[in-house]
Structure 1
């Protein structure tokens, strides 16, 4: 069984061509002939590559066209920190024969930074040139995802996200083909709202850090939710700074005392102990007030369950321990704190992309586990859609993803309507 792995620059000039003959299912046994005649004609920094990957099926001859949108260079997420995980997902699809109707992927990588104009421009150029796109994976950041998801909905093409979580993408009547494998901000908001209704809380105050984007975004989402549903009165929001003085904290806490007994804390984890000690100093940790804390960053569950969350050996540990008895912590750490194994990612890269000019993998980032989920989920949804004799449109693929529970190795994740 053979496979062509062809990498093509955006202007159509072949950079590298490989011929791979599989002697057996053991990927270590193969012959590779490499033609690098044109390698020096193209700059290293390229926008689009096309990768053909043969899946080990028998008689199928269909090609699956995938567009993968991810930056080459971006601090928080980039192709080098993601490509090993992508290879793991492709290997899973190959090993488990998740797509028996297809014999290879055509994967096009578009180097899309967090720039809405460049992202939509690159995707539009690709669609005009090549016409056929079966699925779009990414882009990871919200600024680029919004126009891309709009275009995908227009063409009824499925689009899968492994990073974006902002509320702007929650509207499934608009982004009707978008599936997110990572829990969005709104799901945290829903948890806060549900527990407030469950305990019949009617009034609350919110304290959040305004000069940090993640806490400000989450706080604004919660405010919007409570403003929409009037069963609950969010009486005051206090926008604090990371450098707020002790006097500013004291004034804020004295104001809260006369307003509400329920307090939402949307602040960085590193600031939590300082705030709780300040509340303790104001006599607000004796059980009369209930604090609810969450963060978008992922702190290990082990930290929350241990003394590490309050203990510093600075003479204030007894007060901190008492203060933390009055706080409920909401976290996605159980599903967000599992990074892919570096050895497995590197091994999969060598097996799937061996000899290519695609960037070498580095240690997978904290987002890349959801890239694996997104790719495997798409394969399962596509297979189900075909088995039901439905067209593999964006809306049909989206429908097949709703409330789907699937095995991703050591975890079982619910991929419901994100």
Structure 2
């Protein structure tokens, strides 16, 4: 009889212990190794330190009681990008079967991410991205557990379309060239211009390496459209050549996209110590970028990232501030917020689709500001239109307009002063 009562009394206690037990979630990090390409912006030298800071932040919140009743660990690999793209899926498989991960962070390169996200969908595991911006990953029917905390190509397509329509234009041309040439570095992905064409913008591409001189290439691209996207470097030299050809005096406008780094577009050496001719040439240049926060929290994170790079690698890597790294940090914290909610609700943190849906169609606060995740699992982007060199010696520019993907509207804070204060004629 004593044994019977003992079992009756003990059963509720065991049930209570199971309900309130700490849940551990394990994140598999698939970042990049020390290869030359892709650039350091999305290499392990930036993303690994950012992720480490994020996981430490989660641990501190657990210690303070901000998060409750779960713990978070992670495993990582350096092997991505040292093998063929599809090996990323093999590495993810190893983490899933051997390490028992509950979610993936990365990889940062879109084809690699597609391989991992395909398998994660089959395993029903969440995938978190602080990079991987390709339109290839927009299809959430194929990638139903992928959440991106960084802006994709979609916002930039809509932004460029809005700028062209603001100028009353329906066509543009792009000056490209070979990546190996100092003048002709490929910056704008093909997906951007494919998106422009879907929006009814006529796009013509001109490859500068197919001409004897830069001047001939500029004359050719200028014959196709009044708006010229420069997808080549150095921008300043190209603008000076365009100015000498008379293309900056009211007939054409030049656009340049500098997507993610903060300092290079603003204080790059190519825009410092300009002479009078260069200053005049640059008046016909509009610079476009994703919005970069100018807040104490964001700048503090970037300083901590640099300190961590010094600790891990003995030096800072990459110039300027890295929005990809900050978005990687935010991706981890978004996941932690949702896990905290699910544990509090008594839900299943290992149901990837449930976890993913809790991250979609809502706003989180991160080091990059308000992280608004769309109903399709991608961050809604904000873009800046940058113009007017306010300091010709330092090469600094003002932001004169913004585009918010959530509203689809471009807001110009002051008149566009390029081309003598008027839009291209004709």
TM-score normalised according to structure 1 size:
0.68
Q: Classify 1:240/1:175 alpha carbon distance in 2 versus 1 (closer, same or farther; 3 Å).
A: farther
Q: Classify 1:284/1:83 alpha carbon distance in 2 versus 1 (closer, same or farther; 3 Å).
A: closer
- Tell me what 2:278 maps to: 320
The answer to whether structure 1 residue 110 and structure 2 residue 77 are counterparts is: yes
Secondary structure of the corresponding residue to residue 101 of structure 2: coil
Secondary structure of the corresponding residue to residue 331 of structure 1: strand
Q: Classify 1:183/1:161 alpha carbon distance in 2 versus 1 (closer, same or farther; 3 Å).
A: same
Aligned residues of 1:310 and 1:324 also touching (Cα < 8 A):
no
Secondary structure of the corresponding residue to residue 110 of structure 1: strand
- Tell me what 1:12 maps to: none
The answer to whether structure 1 residue 340 and structure 2 residue 306 are counterparts is: no
Match of residue 114, structure 2, among 140, 143, 146: 146
Quote the Cα distance in structure 2 between the aligned partners of 1:96 and 1:144.
Answer: 32
The answer to whether structure 1 residue 395 and structure 2 residue 353 are counterparts is: yes
- Tell me what 1:41 maps to: none
- Tell me what 1:136 maps to: 104
Quote the Cα distance in structure 1 between the aligned partners of 2:237 and 2:306.
Answer: 40
User: What do residues 114-152 of structure 1 show as CA deviations (whole Å, max 9, x unaligned)?
Assistant: 13333212222332345x432111122334222111111
TM-score normalised according to structure 2 size:
0.67
Q: Map 1:5-404; keep pairs closer than 5 Å.
A: 60-71=21-32, 73-74=34-35, 76=40, 79=44, 81-97=46-62, 98-102=66-70, 104-114=71-81, 115=83, 116-129=85-98, 132-211=100-179, 216=186, 218-229=188-199, 231-234=200-203, 236-241=204-209, 248-268=213-233, 271-296=234-259, 298-300=261-263, 304=266, 310-312=271-273, 317-332=275-290, 334-335=292-293, 340-342=302-304, 346=308, 363=316, 366=322, 367-386=324-343, 391-392=348-349, 393-402=351-360, 404=362
Quote the Cα distance in structure 2 between the aligned partners of 1:223 and 1:344.
Answer: 34
- Tell me what 2:366 maps to: 408
Aligned residues of 2:121 and 2:143 also touching (Cα < 8 A):
yes
Aligned residues of 1:405 and 1:412 also touching (Cα < 8 A):
no
- The count of residues paired between Structure 1 and Structure 2 equals 336
Alpha-carbon distance, 1:330 to partner: 0.5
Alpha-carbon distance, 1:300 to partner: 1.4
Aligned residues of 1:208 and 1:219 also touching (Cα < 8 A):
no
User: What do residues 234-263 of structure 1 show as CA deviations (whole Å, max 9, x unaligned)?
Assistant: 2x211224xx87x53222232344432122
Deviates more, 1:371-380 or 1:288-297: 288-297
Alpha-carbon distance, 1:379 to partner: 0.9
Alpha-carbon distance, 1:189 to partner: 2.4
Quote the Cα distance in structure 2 between the aligned partners of 1:118 and 1:232.
Answer: 38
Secondary structure of the corresponding residue to residue 218 of structure 1: coil
Aligned residues of 1:280 and 1:323 also touching (Cα < 8 A):
yes
Aligned residues of 2:174 and 2:230 also touching (Cα < 8 A):
yes
Secondary structure of the corresponding residue to residue 112 of structure 1: strand
Aligned residues of 1:74 and 1:113 also touching (Cα < 8 A):
no
Deviates more, 1:198-207 or 1:70-79: 70-79
CA RMSD of aligned residues (A): 3.5
Quote the Cα distance in structure 1 between the aligned partners of 2:305 and 2:90.
Answer: 36
Larger proportion of helix: 2
Q: Classify 1:84/1:256 alpha carbon distance in 2 versus 1 (closer, same or farther; 3 Å).
A: closer
User: What do residues 349-395 of structure 1 show as CA deviations (whole Å, max 9, x unaligned)?
Assistant: 9xxxxxxxxx7786476443332112111112333455566654333
Aligned residues of 2:34 and 2:43 also touching (Cα < 8 A):
yes
Gapped runs of 5+ residues in structure 2? 1-19, 380-426
